[in-house]
Chain A
Amino acid sequence: MSERNERCWESAEFRDLLRVHANQPESLIEVLQKTQDLLGYLPRPALEAIAQALRVPLAKVYGVATFYSQFHLQPRGKHVIRVCLGTACHVRGGEKILRRLSEVLGIAPGETTPDRKFTLQRVACLGACGLSPVMMVDEVTYGRLSPQRAVELVLKYAAADEQVAES
């Protein structure tokens, strides 16, 4: 991953972005947004470069980047899987679903698969307790899950992507 991080410099657009906003502390949020658009997330070397170019202390850059939920400091997969561990889902086996998905994808909650396809997250109550246990893949909510059913759904997303890639 760190190898990838270092590569933010290979993006000519990123370098241009910094040049345009050099010495402009006030455009911090805008630059963070554009950087994320370019690189998919906000790697550490990028934040350090932004701090230097805009002349904003790194502590501030980091504070802002971690404050807004729109910013991601870790790479994000194409699909974000959110497994609910709110009270209702917890009681009905949300934990097992999370564990199973974690095994199948080979990553811990909070991480992204090396091929950048899936990010696995745990969340507290998705507001669909009546359907518990619940998970969301991107914007779609799936309820009354079993671990097996959750895995099948995820594999479907993977297959769909592959078809798109081939066609």
Chain B
Amino acid sequence: MKEITIEIDGRRVTVPEGVTVFEAALKLGIEIPHLCYHPSLPFLGACRLCVVEIEGARGLPASCVTPVAAGMVVRTNTERVREARRTILDLLLANHPLDCLTCEKAGECRLQHYAYEYGVASSTWQGERKRLEPDESNPFFVRDQEKCILCGRCVRMCQDVQGRHAIDYVHRGFAVRVSTPYDVSLTETSCVFCGNCVTVCPVGALTPKMSRGRGRTWEYTKVRTVCPYCGVGCNVYLHVKDGRVIGASAAEGPAHEGLLCVKGHFGYEFIHRPDRLRVPLIRQGKSFREASWEEALSLVAGRLLETRKRYGASAVAALASAKCTNEENYLLQKVFRAVLGTNNVDHCARLCHASTVVGLAAAFGSGAMTNSIREIAEAELLLVTGSNTTETHPVIGTRIIRAKRAGARLIVADPRRIALAEEADLFLQLLPGSNVALFNGLAHVIVKEKLYDAQFIAERTEGFAELVEALEPYTPEYVEGITGVPAELIVRAARMYATARRAMILYSMGITQHTSGTDNVLAIANLAMLCGHVGREGTGVNPLRGQNNVQGACDLGALPNVLPGYQRVDDAEVRRKFEECWGAPVPTQPGLTVVEMMEAAARGQLRALYIMGENPMLSDPDINHVREALEKVEFLVVQDIFMTETACLADVVLPGACFAEKDGTFTNTERRVQRVHKAVDPPGEALPDWVILCRLAQKMGYPMSYDHPREILEEIRRLTPIYGGISWERLGTDGLQWPCRDADDPGTPYLHKDRFARGKGKFHPVKYRPPAELADEEYPLLLTTGRLLYQFHTGSMSRRSQGLEAMAPEPYIEINPRTAEVLGIGDGQLVEVASRRGSITLRARLTERVARQVVFVPFHYAEAAANVLTNSALDPRAKIPELKVCAVRVRPLGANGSDGGGS
């Protein structure tokens, strides 16, 4: 691109053609006053505060919309310019209530800032002022129209970045303002309450509700940390005043580009909820009594050691936590392996991406996202499957929408007509559990039409011939019969995918949570390798990880068969390394997985279970069975921040610290290790989980102590090659993406460049096998489960955050209107949903999002827990249960839950 040199305030600067004068000035460190300009938004040129003098130009051009031209001479701060700015500010103030004394934004308001800088106290204009009531109609933020300066930042954020376009300028002339159509509440629009409009508003026109009156910028400190909800790993600032978190705002970060979703922005209230656990509790009959740490930990240590002594190390087990830090997960597996001598360590990743870890490791040699989130923008084609991204990974969801609107093509394959399906070029509505057939069908077409990348296959893969043979039967017509997707769409999708230059597959639990989970993943990997769509920027296979630190918990060895960094426990060389560091033997036999633990417990073989920050009573399949198992366990310890459904069953409950109360690191879904910082103290006597684990180890006679998690990270670094270059200091604000092998390694944005982690990529021929349970006469519908935007996982955090709970307070079941008609069910009616394992009662929501033979229930709600219904049948290799498909029947009930009679 052509470079252009111009002069600004007597200094020369060279920038690429097309850059604006404003940006060129920024490069020199000159910040021209501005209100409507924002670096992440399209330019508008509305406020004109950024005017400058340009030699030879007529008038005073607005620098933020004036491109540089060769030889330009610019002055940004002459008296003429300053006078113009004063007039603009004067006009703005004419229409602005001078409420700075009570305004939430005082201290960080740009208008206040410039009024001060330019000495404009109040307006000389005495015209009519707008009088408008503030809009308080949603739970998250207030729009004060009188303070709005019409800069349009919020409109552009909502329209161009967030892709919702819930608001716009309405009316004209003097009456113009920013609002929703007909001034309805945002709750009635397409708004998703990301609050990103609030982030960019330069004045006090948009302010968060929850922090109102609780302190302004000079009163609180901002602590940078990582969102505790999903795996995107957005960076947030927690606003801390007097030891309490009073607000949150977006921080810049490479993964999320400064955006947040409603949970990260407004879901922090759980931190200070009065029902946080504050002291250790010991069971006494049907209830609990408070205890000292000394007593509680002695009891736990004693019982764990005793159990091991009497029944062997295989009778104890631990569940690590995808919500805890890397350091804490590392310590948990260390304690159980080194001190108690068992590999029985697992965590909820088993329930979400175990099949990814197994499948992608087999095909590529590494089970993580191959690309970075920002590379979504580089792809020519995006294939999203089994992921309701806009609700489960909202910030990635918006990224996809933006890519699509910027010209990328989008194929969505999902049993439900999710929001992304509305944006898609092709929507393949397949039946739950028919993924292998679909992907084999796509691969079949690609092979038949010779659309594959022969060179890539020859140079970088093995097993192609076997694959071709196995694909033979999967003609589009045959696949249509299994999946319900029209043959013609299968052919079109295959061609689109194969002929794109850079294509990315994004998937989530709709792929993994099946008895065929590993096969689904392998089929996806086959498809990608067939077309050479892996190992390049903007091209690859990307499993989206659900929890904020599920990637980290896997990385740090909270898995029964591998030590930190996916180093196998059955490798003597690896064990020796850990044994040297830990000063204790590492058990050689792989341990039990989550669902196997529950089975062993039910059989009476697992006698002591230590659960750190997990809630299997809601998250695991077939809850009735889980309850039996947990009740059967002789000694159950739960370390958590709330009295969860699982903690209620415990013998000892240990109060842990939440994300805001400790230092450490989380690893997000794109393998980015990021620093988490302590903002406030834990409530009562609660302790950071890493401290609890150290004390517990000491109680069991194993010396283990650290002054700070950075020391634990240092130990991890020495033992874990993929984290080999990751130190607390190096992480800084942007973090590092593993593999990062030494202190000079900048980290790895995308994997498998030139060479797969396992050498050559391996094709695994896979056959379609139907789900473990299919619809039959008795249970004629297929149930699939999932998550909602406003809730998270088992709801421990989101249901304790008022705004989130207000938006999605109640469980429901989605039913196709035609199916409902046949069953005699009306919209909003109470229904009973039953499977072979149990039944729940909830309201029906009639919607075309689901096909006629499919129903959907979100799994967040204890009062109608979807996992009472689900099937714990396992994928044979990954041992992931089939949470995404089971057979159910639905029956209408009367208004008060009584039998409605209709059948």
Contact = CB atoms under 8 A, between A and B. Distances in A.
Contacts of B310: none
Interface in B156-180: 159, 164-172, 180
Interface residues of B, number: 15
Given A57-B165, A57-B190, A62 B172 contact: no
Contacts of A63: 168-170, 181
A44 B182 contact: yes
A69 B189 contact: no
A59 B182 contact: no
A58 B190 CA distance: 9
Contacts of B165: 57, 59-60
A147 B884 CA distance: 74
A55 B159 CA distance: 14
Interface string B169-205: 1111000000011100000011000000000000000
A47 interface: yes
Contacts, number: 38
Interface string A28-48: 000000000000000010010
A66 interface: yes
A47 B182 CA distance: 11
Contacts of B172: 66-69
A61 B181 CA distance: 8
A29 B161 CA distance: 24
A59 B180 contact: yes
A139 to B, nearest CB: 22
Contacts of B189: 58-59
Contact of A66 (B159, B164, B166, B170): B170
A66 B177 CA distance: 11
B181 A67 contact: no
Interface in B635-692: none
Nearest to B165: A57
Interface string A71-113: 0000000000000000000000000000000000000000000
Contacts of B190: 57
A47 B180 CA distance: 13
Contacts of A69: 172
Nearest to A61: B181
A72 B171 CA distance: 11
Query: Chain A: interface secondary structure?
Result: helix
A152 B165 CA distance: 49
Nearest to B172: A67
Nearest to B128: A124
Nearest to B175: A66
Contacts of A58: 181, 189
Query: Chain B: interface secondary structure?
Result: loop
Contacts of A44: 182
Contacts of B180: 59
B135 to A, nearest CB: 14
Contacts of B181: 47, 58-59, 61-63
Contacts of A61: 181
A59 B167 contact: yes
Contacts of A68: 172
B171 A67 contact: yes
Interface residues of A, number: 13
A66 B167 contact: no
A68 B176 CA distance: 12
A66 B164 CA distance: 20
- Of A44, A66, A67, A68, the most chain B CB neighbours within 10 A belong to A66
- Of A44, A59, A63, A68, the most chain B CB neighbours within 10 A belong to A59
Contact of B171 (A47, A59, A66): A66
A63 B165 CA distance: 11
A59 B163 CA distance: 12
B139 to A, nearest CB: 20
Contacts of B170: 62-63, 66-67
A58 B165 CA distance: 8
Contacts of B159: 57, 60
Nearest to B169: A63
B649 to A, nearest CB: 48
A47 B168 CA distance: 15
A67 B182 CA distance: 13
Nearest to A67: B172
B256 to A, nearest CB: 24
A8 B837 CA distance: 51
B124 to A, nearest CB: 20
A135 B535 CA distance: 74
- Of B159, B165, B168, the most chain A CB neighbours within 10 A belong to B168
A63 B166 CA distance: 11
A102 to B, nearest CB: 21
A57 B180 CA distance: 11
Nearest to B191: A59
A45 B189 CA distance: 15
Contacts of B168: 57, 59-60, 62-63
A55 B221 CA distance: 44
A44 B181 CA distance: 9
Interface string A117-160: 00000000000000000000000000000000000000000000
A62 B172 CA distance: 12
Nearest to A59: B168
A32 B886 CA distance: 48
A40 to B, nearest CB: 19
A47 B169 CA distance: 16
A58 B180 CA distance: 9
B800 to A, nearest CB: 32
Contacts of A59: 165-168, 180-181, 189
A60 to B, nearest CB: 6
A60 B168 CA distance: 6
Contacts of A60: 159, 165, 168
- Of B168, B169, B181, the most chain A CB neighbours within 10 A belong to B181
A62 B167 contact: no
Interface in B521-549: none
Contacts of B169: 63, 67
Contacts of A57: 159, 164-166, 168, 190
A20 B168 CA distance: 26
A17 to B, nearest CB: 20
A85 B172 CA distance: 20
Interface string B68-83: 0000000000000000
Nearest to B170: A66
A60 B190 CA distance: 12
A66 B172 CA distance: 7
A61 B167 CA distance: 11
A68 B182 CA distance: 16
A42 to B, nearest CB: 12
A122 to B, nearest CB: 13
A63 B171 CA distance: 7
B233 to A, nearest CB: 30
A58 B167 CA distance: 9
A68 B171 CA distance: 8
Interface of B: 159, 164-172, 180-182, 189-190
Interface of A: 44, 47, 57-63, 66-69
26 contacts: A47-B181, A57-B159, A57-B164, A57-B166, A57-B168, A57-B190, A58-B181, A58-B189, A59-B165, A59-B166, A59-B168, A59-B181, A59-B189, A60-B159, A60-B168, A61-B181, A62-B170, A62-B181, A63-B169, A63-B170, A63-B181, A66-B170, A66-B172, A67-B169, A67-B170, A69-B172
Given A58-B181, A62-B181, A63-B168, 15 more contacts: A57-B159, A57-B165, A59-B168, A59-B180, A60-B159, A60-B165, A62-B182, A63-B169, A63-B181, A66-B170, A66-B171, A66-B172, A67-B170, A67-B171, A69-B172
The 4 closest A-B pairs by CB, nearest first: A62-B181, A57-B165, A63-B168, A59-B168
